[in-house]
């Protein structure tokens, strides 16, 4: 792994930091269901030679067995509050993950860091993307009033699985990525306008300059009854609170696995350009059966082999260090 980045600083000078770095990757963990994903995400960042540490943001629901697994691997961790809106919001049983997603807004509050890039635990970093730590964003003094509050890739609103409870306007013609089909080369380098399509960011990757002023706006929004109409929790809130005032990154930083499927956004997807794969929806790679892991692969599941390759390399390295806890 590379030597420490010059942006690193001692934890003594910043006692609230879980890792001695002014800039960090973070990922939320509330239970052990996503723990295999988190451990492999951490391994993928290291294999990609990132200069920055991954910090696990855990809530009080995270069990002792999970803490032991993080400690055994030396993954820094930091407690965060479990966020929920004041008005109860019910999600479909198949989308219960959205109850946890409100807590993905907590990185905006972590003012002990200069830059936080929040990643979902079901992601796999393929190529170094440390440049996200330095892309221009509004400073804390803007108090959330500027035009570059945070950065993210667009949400894909094609609804390729045709989930009946999804909003009726979640169709390909309203997807920001569809607007890029005519120029695939540009799509590798630039995101569509933040106002394109339904103008919603995907919450899986968020590049954040933590600031009390911004977080105060988020907390105030969580207290409003409008949250009852937010079908996609954190990303619905962010698109409503900061419309068009976020930086739209190209898909390569949050390459949703469904985009690779034929007829979705394979028009712009390029395996060799992707830097970070997002294994959204179920089943996750680690939930596959043994036959699926080792046997049949089709156009929709072969991408899971990328995750399994890194996972197997991680577990081999851990065994060599004497870490054999089943994770």
Q: Does domain 23-320 have CATH number 3.90.550.10?
A: yes
Average pLDDT, rounded, for the chain: 91
Q: Which residue has the higher pLDDT, 87 or 318?
A: 318
Question: Is pLDDT at 152 greater than 60 in this prediction?
Answer: yes
User: What is the mean pLDDT of the segment spanning 24-34?
Assistant: 96
Confidence bin at 229 (pLDDT 50/70/90): confident
Q: pTM, whole model, 2 decimals?
A: 0.92
Amino acid 2: pLDDT: 36
Amino acid 298: pLDDT: 64
Q: Which residue has the higher pLDDT, 7 or 234?
A: 234
Amino acid 6: pLDDT: 41
Confidence bin at 3 (pLDDT 50/70/90): very low
Question: Is pLDDT at 40 greater than 90 in this prediction?
Answer: yes
Amino acid 182: pLDDT: 98
Amino acid 1: pLDDT: 36
pLDDT (tens digit per residue) in 107-117: 999 999 999 99
Question: Is pLDDT at 12 greater than 70 in this prediction?
Answer: no
As a whole-number percent, the residues of the chain with pLDDT over 70 amount to 89
Question: Is pLDDT at 227 greater than 90 in this prediction?
Answer: no
User: What is the mean pLDDT of the segment spanning 88-94?
Assistant: 56
Report domain extents, the chain: 23-320
Neighbours of 83 (CB within 10 A): 20
**CB burial of residue 130 (10 Å; 0-12, 13-18, 19+):** middle
């Amino acid at each position: 792994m590379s030597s420490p980045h010059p942006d690193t600083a001692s934890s003594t000078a910043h006692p609230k930091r879980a890792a001695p770095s002014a800039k960090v990757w973070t990922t939320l963990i509330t239970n052990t269901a996503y723990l295999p994903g988190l451990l492999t995400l951490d391994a993928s960042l290291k294999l990609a030679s990132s200069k920055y540490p991954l910090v696990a943001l855990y809530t009080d629901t995270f069990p002792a067995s999970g803490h032991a697994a993080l400690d055994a691997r030396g993954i820094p961790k930091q407690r965060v509050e479990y966020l929920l809106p004041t008005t109860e919001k019910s999600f479909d049983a198949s989308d219960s993950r959205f109850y946890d997603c409100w807590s993905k807004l907590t990185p905006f509050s972590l003012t002990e860091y200069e830059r936080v890039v929040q990643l979902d635990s079901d992601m796999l970093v393929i190529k170094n993307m440390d440049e996200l730590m330095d892309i221009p964003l509004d400073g804390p003094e803007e108090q959330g009033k500027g035009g570059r509050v945070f950065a993210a890739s667009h949400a894909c609103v094609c609804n390729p699985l045709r989930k009946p409870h999804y909003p009726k306007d979640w169709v390909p013609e309203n997807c920001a990525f569809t607007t890029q089909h005519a120029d695939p080369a540009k799509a590798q380098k630039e995101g569509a306008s933040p106002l394109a399509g339904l103008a919603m960011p995907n919450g899986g990757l968020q590049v954040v300059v933590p600031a009390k002023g911004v977080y105060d706006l988020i907390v105030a929004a969580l207290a409003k009854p409008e949250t009852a109409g937010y079908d996609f929790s954190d990303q619905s809130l962010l698109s409503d609170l900061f419309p068009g005032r976020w930086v739209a990154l190209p898909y390569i930083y949050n390459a949703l696995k469904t985009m690779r499927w034929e007829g979705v956004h394979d028009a712009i997807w390029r395996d060799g350009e992707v830097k970070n794969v997002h294994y959204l929806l179920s089943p996750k790679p680690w939930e596959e059966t043994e036959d699926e892991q080792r046997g049949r692969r089709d156009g929709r599941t072969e991408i899971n082999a990328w995750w399994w390759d890194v996972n197997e390399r991680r577990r081999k390295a851990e065994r060599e260090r004497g870490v054999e806890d089943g994770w």
